[in-house]
Structure 1
Amino acid sequence: MVEQAELLKGRFQGDPSFEYAYAEVNAEDDENFLDDGKELTIKEENRLVATIEQIDRAVGIIPRRALMKTPLGSVHENRSFEGLSLTEAKKLSSYFHFTEPVNLKNKTLLEKADLDPSTDFLDSLEHDVPQGSWTVQFEKGSTVVVLRSLLWLGLTFYHVPMTKQYGYIYCGTGEKNLDLPFML
């Protein structure tokens, strides 16, 4: 369903029962029809679910040490996590993707030597491609750190240093910013 939704471009209609037809998207392909001659379609509610999955996979993040991995491989909330320090909170390397690691497996043994296997088992934001796809800001008059994604415009992550408070919200159009490499 995610792969089908990735083919669709443009904004959502606002009607969960609206059906997108793939013939409108790719008029040259003969693969837009099923074996019985019916046209391939996807409902807007399914496209929305797939888009939320894409956003969570691409830009869902957590602070470093918020989760712990046990020697048996299970992941739990770190009860001793008391938040990042002010200096750590300013660094992209202090935030991890909240998905299965991809880049971590490609690191050399020398790069893995400095990592703690119980807390550094996810991919860091500092190695995201393209470089510069995240902004880190301190809110004026408070100590809240805000990270914003430039790839999925509308995603905002917050963390209050020295506390357990963190989270993210997406308030965007549901469109990936494919022009980001040209904007940087």
Structure 2
Amino acid sequence: MDSNSLSHCLEVVASSGCVLTLEERTALQTSLVILKKNYKFQRVLFWGKILGLQQDYFVAQGRGEDEMRDRKSLYSLNCLDWLLLPSVTDAMVEEVSKSAQGRFRGDPSFVYEHKVSKQEEKVYKVTEEKRLAVTVHQIDEEASVVPRGAFIRSPSGPVQINRSFGGLSESEAKRLENFMHFRESKNLPREKQQKAEWTPAIDFLDVLSEDIPKGSWSLQFECARRVCVLRSLLWLGLTFCHVPMTPQHGYVYIGLGMKNRDLPFML
């Protein structure tokens, strides 16, 4: 969620358990402004909070001219001092998947180790900082949400905020097909591209209604039915909100940083 509307957005998603203390909010509102200036970001978002056994990780995301490609994630243990997370590679994802298990500890330098087998000498080692980077990346890939039309892709390629987006109507906000993953498209069926209402400039993202397994999102209207709220059942703690007929929208993750792998058996 955009740092400029942090307080209001956190009030909206508070019913989902996504809460920060007054001290954390105050520190974030100050430090995110400084973060934006120091790194020369065009805008900064508060991404969320991953709960650790010793300390919690606060995560922010800076955006550049291209909202999708010019993204950098940073973390803090005190809401004041921020460090860049390393770029995620396929090798790093594999290392984390094989070695890092259980709750986050809250120590970026902690090293997870996993020996493949007694016969082999190969040992996977990965720091918790790398695990944090991979987890943020995976949540963004599988649960980041934007309303249809909120972003536009220009003919030259960059993805930017659609300044003419006035929000979904209340009837549109009731349909999961009007919400999209904010990532590079992985599955854009040709038959959809042939539909009359398909617009290349805004329909370049995958819709949530195509997610597998079906039923991995909960959609409700809250706050006297004025706010549309989406919750991920795959990444418990990810909450998205949108106020229909306004451009206001955003998501935040506050949770353990652990994927709900039992979801297919729960539906």
Report the TM-score, using the length of structure 2 for normalisation: 0.62
Deviations 1:38-75 (A, max 9, x none): xx321112111111111111111111001111222222
1:2 counterpart SS class: helix
Deviations 1:126-181 (A, max 9, x none): 00000000010100424111100000011000111111111111111111011000
Aligned equivalents of 2:102 and 2:193: distance in 1? 41
Q: Say if 1:29 and 1:83 are closer, same or farther in 2 by CA, change over 3 A.
A: farther
Shift of 1:31: 6.0
How many pairs are equivalent? 173
- Which position in structure 2 is the counterpart of 1:4? 95
Q: Say if 1:89 and 1:9 are closer, same or farther in 2 by CA, change over 3 A.
A: same
Task: Give, as a single letter, the amino acid of the residue that structure 2 aligns with 1:118.
Answer: A
Q: Which has the larger share of strand?
A: 2
Aligned equivalents of 1:127 and 1:120: distance in 2? 14
Task: Give, as a single letter, the amino acid of the residue that structure 2 aligns with 1:5.
Answer: V
Q: Does 1:84 align with 2:175?
A: no
- Which position in structure 2 is the counterpart of 1:74? 158
Deviations 1:13-44 (A, max 9, x none): 22222111112xx44572634xxxxxx32111
Aligned equivalents of 1:28 and 1:138: distance in 2? 53
Contact 1:9–1:175 (Cα < 8 Å) also in 2: no
Task: Give, as a single letter, the amino acid of the residue that structure 2 aligns with 1:111.
Answer: K
Q: Which has the larger radius of gyration?
A: 1
Q: Does 1:43 align with 2:98?
A: no
Q: Say if 1:82 and 1:21 are closer, same or farther in 2 by CA, change over 3 A.
A: same
Q: Does 1:162 align with 2:253?
A: no
Structure 1's consecutive aligned runs of 4 or more residues displaced over 3 angstroms after TM superposition are 26-29
Aligned equivalents of 2:121 and 2:181: distance in 1? 35
RMSD value over aligned CA atoms?
Answer: 1.5
Contact 1:151–1:180 (Cα < 8 Å) also in 2: yes
- Which position in structure 2 is the counterpart of 1:147? 230
Aligned equivalents of 1:49 and 1:21: distance in 2? 17
Task: Give, as a single letter, the amino acid of the residue that structure 2 aligns with 1:10.
Answer: G
Task: Give, as a single letter, the amino acid of the residue that structure 2 aligns with 1:139.
Answer: E
- Which position in structure 2 is the counterpart of 1:13? 105
- Which position in structure 1 is the counterpart of 2:65? none
Deviations 1:90-111 (A, max 9, x none): 111111100000111xx13x33
Equivalent positions of 1:164-183 (< 5 A) are 164-183=247-266
Aligned equivalents of 1:181 and 1:87: distance in 2? 29
Contact 2:95–2:125 (Cα < 8 Å) also in 1: no
Of the structure 1 ranges 138-147 and 165-174, higher mean CA displacement relative to structure 2 is found in 138-147
Q: Which ranges of structure 1 fall in alignment gaps of 5 or more residues?
A: 34-39
Contact 2:114–2:125 (Cα < 8 Å) also in 1: yes
Q: Say if 1:123 and 1:182 are closer, same or farther in 2 by CA, change over 3 A.
A: same
Report the TM-score, using the length of structure 1 for normalisation: 0.88
Contact 1:83–1:165 (Cα < 8 Å) also in 2: yes
Task: Give, as a single letter, the amino acid of the residue that structure 1 aligns with 2:122.
Answer: N
